Structures are given as C-alpha cells and as structure tokens.
Amino acid sequence: MSDCGSAFDVEGHNWVLLSSCVVTRNGAGIAFGPQQDASVLLHNSIVWDNAGQDFDPPDVEARYSDLSQALPGVGNLSVDPGFVAPASGDYHLRSDSALIDAGDPATVGGLDPDGDPRRTDGDWNADARADIGIDEFNRVRIAASGAAVLGGTVALTVTAPAGSAAVGFLSLHTADVSLGALGSVLIGALGPALFDPESVLVLGSGAAPWTFVAAVPNDPLLLGLQAHFQGFGKAATFAGASLSNRLTLVVH
C-alpha cells in the first residue's frame, strides 16, 4: 500500500492481522480512530518511509517485519528494505536486500503476486525461507515468447545465475509443483534433482539460460486449454537451488 493519506485506518474493537504487506510512502502508515481499542499484528511485513507516524506503538505488535519505527519482537528488523525502484512504485526486492530469506521460517505454501513460490531460497544458501514483504525474491525465472495459438510456436526460457543448470517442466495440476524422492532428472553434469513424477512432466534441462520450443497442435479441442509451467535452477559450485515463478499459458 503506497501513496495514500493513510494506508490503513483501524476503527472499533478489532484485531487486525497484516501479513506479507508493504506499507510505504503514505501520508501515514496505520492510523487508529480516536475512540477504539483495536490492535494490529504485523507479520512478514514492511512499514517504511511513510511521511507521518508509521503507527501507534502500544496498539501494534510485529514479528518478522521490517519497520522504520522499530519495535521489539522476534525476527524484526529496522533496515532499508532494498526496493528496486520505490519512487516509481516498484517494491520488488533487490538482490542485496537484507529481507531475503528473513521472514517467518514457519511460512509455507502459496505464491507471491508474480507467481513465485512463497518459500524460496532467495540467497541460495540451501535454507529456503519466506522473504519479508509482498515479494519473494527469486534468482530463477521462466518466461514465454511466441503465441499460444493453434498451430503456433511458444519458446519457454528458464534463466538462472551464471554457471547454473536449469530444468523446465509442465505441471500436471494447478497446485504448487512438489519436489520429492519419487523421480529424478539429471541436470547436465551437476547430478539429479528430485521431482514428483505424479505432479510434473520434465521437458528437458541444460545450462542456464535454457530454452524449450513447443509447437501447439492445430486442434480445435485444445482451445481454452491451460498449461502450467515452472523452471528449476541449480548452482554448479554450491548448494543453491530454487523453483522459478509459475507461468500459465492459455491456448486461444
């Protein structure tokens, strides 16, 4: 939430949980009405650089949050979040942000607004944790070029840090792709990555960036079909690895 008079106005006898939120560059952060006994719990959230008071401390608790108006609490920070371009409204985290893998270690499941798994090993230290804020920083991306039309061609490219290997796969259902010990694919000379064969169909692998080109059959029965793709990147010289964002294509 940004560029508002106040991001949140809390009234009455309410208990409010704000989880994985960004409250920044507003006239005020969290405002309370004149006659109320409401309280707010901030969790995995950023409240930073608001023009007025960020919040009224007696009415706010925080855990695993980054606050310019510092509060005690487990996992809390008070450091520059490291946004990519806050002046233009880009609140993604830079690669050097201290908020990467600094969120609540109990946070599991779900996707961020970009389709990145909510618990990603963003700093590639073999310890996957959620980030603080709305964005989950990810070193591995999958993107499509071309047109998902009958008779068309689509190129899927998985990018990862230099020297990494990449895998691309088709998810066989709409839930998060699961990794498990039931199947494996060899990623170049880097060894196996384990995937659940009931949830994914591996398209191939190679050095990053790796591209897979798919031809869409000219079959009217495919109109409206949704296909869900994801990538996986693995470092060559250390334990870093992560799933990419989730990409959905619809045949039209």
**Can you list the alpha helix ranges (DSSP code H) found in 109-215?**
none
Q: Is the pLDDT of residue 159 over 80?
A: yes
The tokens describing 212, both together, are: 């897979």
* Residue pair 133/42 in contact by the 8 Å Cβ criterion: no
DSSP label of 95: T
* Residue pair 212/156 in contact by the 8 Å Cβ criterion: yes
pLDDT at 31: 58
Q: pLDDT exceeding 90 applies to what percent of the chain?
A: 26
**How many residues in total does the chain contain?**
252
CA distance 10 to 217: 54
CA distance 142 to 1: 27
pLDDT at 228: 85
- For the ranges 1-5, 39-43, 163-167, 196-200, which has the lowest average pLDDT? 1-5
pLDDT at 245: 86
DSSP label of 185: E
What digits encode the pLDDT tens for the residues 27-84? 655 655 545 566 788 899 998 887 777 776 667 888 999 988 888 999 999 999 999 9
Task: Please give the model's pTM, rounded to 2 decimal places.
Answer: 0.78
What digits encode the pLDDT tens for the residues 192-228? 555 565 667 778 888 889 999 989 889 999 898 888 8
Q: Is the pLDDT of residue 126 over 90?
A: no
Q: Which residues contact 236 (CB under 8 A, 6 or more apart)?
A: 163, 164, 165, 190
Highest mean pLDDT of the ranges 7-16, 23-32, 86-95, 159-168: 86-95
Structural domains in the chain, sorted by start: 1-138 (no CATH), 141-250 (2.20.130)
pLDDT at 183: 47
